[in-house]
Amino acid sequence: MTSRFKIGNLISSVIIFLTSLAVLLPIYIIVTAAFKNEVDIFDRPIAILTENSGLFNFKQLEMFPLYIWNSIKVTFFCTVIQLGTASTGAYAFSKLKWKGRDSIFLLYLMSMMIPIQVIIIPQFMIIRSFGLYDTHLALIMVASFTVFGTFLIKQFFMTIPDSLLESARIDGAHEWLIYWKIVMPLAKTVLATVLIFSFRWFWNEFFSALIYLTSPELKTLPLGMTDFVTEYMVYYGPQMAAAMISIIPVMILFISLQRFFIQGITSSGIKG
Amino acid sequence: MNTKSLEKTPWPTVLSFLLPGFIGFILFVFFPMLSTFLISFTNYSGGPNWKIVGIDNYLTIAKDKHFLQSLVVTVKFVLIGVSLQIIMGLLFAMLLNRNILGQTFFRSLFFMPNVLSSVGISLAFSLIFHPTKGVANQILEYFGLPDSPWLTDPSTALLSIIMVVLWMSFGYYMIIFLGGLQSINSSLYEAADIDGANGVQKFFRVTLPMLSPTMFFALTMCIINSFKVFDQIFMMTGGTDGGGPAGSTNVVVYDIYQNSFRNFRFGYASAESLILLIIILVITVIQFNNQKKWVTYDI
């Protein structure tokens, strides 16, 4: 019995170890290849550094400071707006009583299954008719709400007892005051979770940028990285340098705030 | 005291909370959804000259081998991708649900790829899957195995994309399953122990039935997410190929994108979109109807 138990443990340790290697390998390749020249990238892929290593790949990314700035700008506005609309929406869906509330929320949830490509033509036409084509505002507008975030915050709001709000209502407090002074301070954790999810989403967001931006000086970081795909000559060094720039901020955020990520996913799953 | 709570909130107040997000939803999701339906009955191509063509787009699609291939690719992608993601997610949730050294570290490590930029990761895998000199082939050679063409051959391109998607998201499903496993009452396992059940019996008689609500959620999410995969395909096999070697990675969402923004066949792409949406809707409805047969919400 014990020997079988030990063999089982050994096998699972080996599986976990090998999978860890497989998970780390691409990240390792990105981070090391970013500093290597084209020859070393292929001939010595596993070496951390070679005698030729340097910052030359990063120097080729002339447009990237601008792309990074664009990404920061768009991500900041999208995240802040989403946090606002998701929390007020969640309040309306959980703490206010009105006709059609549950059916509209169901409609919200159902929209999560629509791939963006299915609605992109009319959405594109609407954005263009507003004169927003090729502007950052287009990306911010189409991202002004989040079904996932609204859902997550609503789940939390529902755990706040109504009696807490009732006493304030009897004292004649307006709903906005209750929302701001009572409910929101209690919701800090879930708000942080939504904030992080939105940040991650917009830092990585690709499709809307691909559709709505054409001017090189407006490109966000993920869209900027497609510069390499269309070119005839493919240089992997600068690509890995760009990939490194795109994944490092999110990795740092994840490592320092991982409990929020895990919480967000678990709480969306259990009740789901 | 409860009389006031039964009253409805005045509409101006409701709207002041609801509209900030709801306007965006109506304008950029709900209304476009209805429009896609309408555009699918026209030959609209972005210009001023267009007319209603009835169900012509749908008739063209029914005869279009290109679209049929795209559907087959999508079905393959969803079937293989979902199975692998769910099995690996569940496997690693079970492996890391025990008290082992570095439990938290490995959970975080396996989940981490999920937060990274799919575009950046796709660039990395294009390098790893390089057909002649990539790391993936060097590893194969090290073990004395023949090289694989990875993304450059119709027979392996889709599987390569699936591997990248799997790499990015098995950790997400692992976290979902871990949440489910932790909510299983341990007394059930104790009872099974008393009855002399072995590990396999415990898995099939206790773990799986108790995990069925989580499994239902994970499956639903995984299927929906798999229909949406676009970035990896665009980055790794898009480019000048357009949907991979011989269209072997041309999933329906990618085909819709190509017909919309490269060929400007808006009417046709809208018809494709609607068919795709109906497929997703039917699968989801079937899942919800079937859940009574295998999902346990008791205890």
Tell me which of A133 and B297 has the higher pLDDT.
A133
pLDDT of residue B8: 85
- CA distances to A14, A116, B37, B77, B197 from B271, rounded to whole Å, are 49, 15, 7, 21, 54
Tell me which of B82 and B195 has the higher pLDDT.
B82
* Of A215, A210, A222, A217, the residue nearest A62 (C-alpha): A217
| A1: contact with B, CB 8 A cutoff | no
CB atoms within 10 A of CB B47: 8
User: What whole-number distance in Å separates Cα of residue A214 and Cα of residue A134?
Assistant: 6
How long is chain B? 299
How much of chain A exceeds pLDDT 90, in percent? 71
| A17: contact with B, CB 8 A cutoff | no
Q: Is the pLDDT of residue A9 over 90?
A: no
How long is chain A? 272
CB contact under 8 A, B28 and A121: no
A224 found inside a domain:
yes
pLDDT of residue B102: 87
Q: Judge residue B43's burial from the number of C-beta atoms within 10 Å of its C-beta, 0-12 exposed, 13-18 middle, 19 or more buried.
A: middle
B263 found inside a domain:
yes
What secondary structure, in 3-state letters, does A184-208 show? HHHCHHHHHHHHHHHHHHHHHCCHH
- Does B162 share its domain with B242? yes
- Does B33 share its domain with B87? no
Q: Is B115 in contact with A254 (CB distance < 8 Å)?
A: yes
pLDDT of residue B239: 64
- Does A114 share its domain with A222? yes
Give the closest-approach CA distance of B274 to chain A in angstroms: 7
- Does B3 share its domain with B91? no
| Residue A23 domain boundaries | 2-43
Give the closest-approach CA distance of A58 to chain B in angstroms: 15
Taking residues B247-272, report their average pLDDT: 93
- Does A19 share its domain with A132? no
User: What whole-number distance in Å separates Cα of residue A116 and Cα of residue A207?
Assistant: 8
CATH number at residue B171: 1.10.3720.10
- Does B267 share its domain with B130? yes
* Of A196, A240, A170, A171, the residue nearest A75 (C-alpha): A196
Segment of A103-107, B180-184, B293-297 carrying the highest mean pLDDT: A103-107
A78 found inside a domain:
yes
Give the closest-approach CA distance of B284 to chain A in angstroms: 9
Q: Is the pLDDT of residue B3 over 50?
A: no
Secondary structure letter of residue B145 according to DSSP: P
Q: Is B15 in contact with A100 (CB distance < 8 Å)?
A: no
Taking residues A152-157, report their average pLDDT: 93
In the predicted model, what is the mean pLDDT of chain B? 91
List of chain B residues whose C-beta atoms are within 8 Å of the C-beta of residue A120: 32, 256-257, 260
- Does B157 share its domain with B103? yes
Confidence of residue B4 (pLDDT cuts 50, 70, 90): very low
What residue in B sits closest to A242 (Cα-Cα)? B120
Query: In sequence order, which ranges of chain A are alpha helices (DSSP H)?
Result: 2-33, 38-43, 56-59, 64-94, 101-110, 116-129, 136-142, 147-157, 162-170, 175-178, 184-186, 188-204, 207-212, 221-224, 227-230, 236-271
| B39: contact with A, CB 8 A cutoff | yes
Which residue is listed with tokens 């709207």?
B15
- Does B62 share its domain with B178? yes
- Does A122 share its domain with A29? no
Secondary structure letter of residue B112 according to DSSP: G
A170 found inside a domain:
yes
- DSSP result, B57-71: HHHHHHH-HHHHHHH
Digit-coded pLDDT (tens) for B142-173? 999 999 999 989 999 999 999 999 999 999 99
B90 found inside a domain:
yes
- Does B22 share its domain with B67? no
pTM: predicted TM-score of the whole model, two decimal places: 0.92
pLDDT of residue B5: 47
- Does A99 share its domain with A125? yes
| A112: contact with B, CB 8 A cutoff | yes
B residues 158-187 near A, CB within 8 Å? 167, 171-172, 175-176, 178-180, 183
- Does A163 share its domain with A229? yes
Q: For an interface test with A, which of B43, B112, B133, B259 has the most A Cβ atoms less than 10 Å from its Cβ?
A: B112
Q: Is the pLDDT of residue B104 over 80?
A: yes
Q: What is the ipTM of this complex?
A: 0.91
B50 found inside a domain:
no
pLDDT of residue B243: 79
User: What whole-number distance in Å separates Cα of residue A174 and Cα of residue B117?
Assistant: 42
pLDDT of residue B298: 65
B44 found inside a domain:
no
- Does B25 share its domain with B89? no
| B282: contact with A, CB 8 A cutoff | no
Q: Is the pLDDT of residue A268 over 80?
A: no
Give the closest-approach CA distance of B210 to chain A in angstroms: 12
Which residue is listed with tokens 């082939």?
B137
Q: Is the pLDDT of residue A234 over 80?
A: no
> Between B39, B138, B274, which is nearest A122 by CB?
B39
- Does A11 share its domain with A107? no
- Does A134 share its domain with A164? yes
Q: Is the pLDDT of residue A242 over 90?
A: yes
User: What whole-number distance in Å separates Cα of residue B232 and Cα of residue A28?
Assistant: 19
User: What whole-number distance in Å separates Cα of residue A185 and Cα of residue B293?
Assistant: 42
Q: For an interface test with B, which of A101, A113, A125 has the most B Cβ atoms less than 10 Å from its Cβ?
A: A113
A37 found inside a domain:
yes
- Does A199 share its domain with A69? yes
CB contact under 8 A, A246 and B115: no
Q: Is the pLDDT of residue A178 over 90?
A: yes
B residues 104-163 near A, CB within 8 Å? 106-113, 115-121, 123-128, 130, 133-135, 138
- Does A139 share its domain with A95? yes
B76 found inside a domain:
yes
Q: Is A271 in contact with A156 (CB distance < 8 Å)?
A: no
Q: For an interface test with A, which of B115, B272, B282 has the most A Cβ atoms less than 10 Å from its Cβ?
A: B115
Q: Is the pLDDT of residue A270 over 60?
A: no
- Does B82 share its domain with B29? no
Q: Which residues of A55-78 are buried (b: 16+ CB within 10 A; e: fewer)?
A: eebbeebeebeebbebbeebbebb
| Residue B262 domain boundaries | 56-294
| A237: contact with B, CB 8 A cutoff | no
- Does B112 share its domain with B230? yes
- Does A37 share its domain with A87? no
Contacts 24+ apart (CB under 8 A), A32-38: A33/A236, A33/A237, A33/A240, A33/B127, A34/A58, A34/A237, A34/A240, A34/A241, A34/A243, A34/A244, A35/A241, A36/A237, A37/A237, A38/A235, A38/A236, A38/A237
Q: Which residues pair with B42 in a beta bridge?
A: B52
Confidence of residue B292 (pLDDT cuts 50, 70, 90): confident
Give the closest-approach CA distance of B249 to chain A in angstroms: 16
CB contact under 8 A, B29 and A111: yes
User: What whole-number distance in Å separates Cα of residue B218 and Cα of residue B203?
Assistant: 18
- Does B156 share its domain with B29? no
A135 found inside a domain:
yes
Domain count, chain A: 2
Taking residues B282-289, report their average pLDDT: 92
- Does A120 share its domain with A161? yes
> Between B23, B119, B260, which is nearest A225 by CB?
B119
A258 found inside a domain:
no
A141 found inside a domain:
yes
User: What whole-number distance in Å separates Cα of residue B13 and Cα of residue B6?
Assistant: 16
B48 found inside a domain:
no
Confidence of residue B140 (pLDDT cuts 50, 70, 90): very high
- Does B70 share its domain with B209? yes
CATH number at residue A164: 1.10.3720.10
Q: Is the pLDDT of residue B241 over 70?
A: no
User: What whole-number distance in Å separates Cα of residue B262 and Cα of residue B265?
Assistant: 8
List of chain A residues whose C-beta atoms are within 8 Å of the C-beta of residue B101: none
User: What whole-number distance in Å separates Cα of residue B165 and Cα of residue B157?
Assistant: 13
What is the C-alpha R_g of chain B? 24
Domain count, chain B: 2
- Does A8 share its domain with A102? no
A39 found inside a domain:
yes
How much of chain B exceeds pLDDT 70, in percent? 96
User: What whole-number distance in Å separates Cα of residue A268 and Cα of residue A14?
Assistant: 31
User: What whole-number distance in Å separates Cα of residue A84 and Cα of residue A150?
Assistant: 10
User: What whole-number distance in Å separates Cα of residue A46 and Cα of residue B299?
Assistant: 51
Q: For an interface test with A, which of B8, B25, B166 has the most A Cβ atoms less than 10 Å from its Cβ?
A: B25
